[in-house]
């Protein structure tokens, strides 16, 4: 026991150095794990935005393909511009 305490007392700086290295290692591991979590969240957001952009692209492609369809044109004229075909009456309800 005396020999062990003598070795510890003589080489105290080695123990302190090992403890400091362990502290730095655990601190860097904590930072790395925090960074991994942040990057995973960012990747999820980017994947969601990619999915939304792909859906919007598909909708736009369908609109582009249907522009020559006469039924689509009449639907757009009715919905967007409020145009009524001939021989039909447009009724507008006013709020009280």
Domain layout of the chain by residue ranges: 2-81
pTM to 2 decimals? 0.55
What pLDDT score does 73 carry? 80
What pLDDT score does 11 carry? 82
Residues of the chain falling short of pLDDT 50:
none
- Cα–Cα distances (Å) from 91 to 71, 83, 84, in that order, read 22, 12, 10
- 41: Cβ contacts below 8 Å, ≥ 6 apart: none
- Per residue in 74-84, pLDDT (tens digit) is 887 787 877 87
């Amino acid at each position: 026991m005396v020999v062990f305490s003598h070795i510890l007392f003589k080489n105290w700086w080695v123990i302190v150095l090992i403890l400091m290295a362990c502290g730095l290692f655990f601190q860097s591991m904590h930072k790395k794990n925090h960074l991994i979590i942040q990057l995973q969240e960012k990747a999820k957001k980017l994947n969601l935005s990619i999915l939304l952009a792909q859906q919007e692209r598909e909708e736009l492609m369908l609109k582009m393909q249907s522009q020559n369809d006469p039924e689509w044109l009449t639907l757009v004229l009715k919905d967007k511009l409020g145009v009524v075909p001939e021989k039909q009456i447009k009724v507008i309800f006013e709020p009280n």
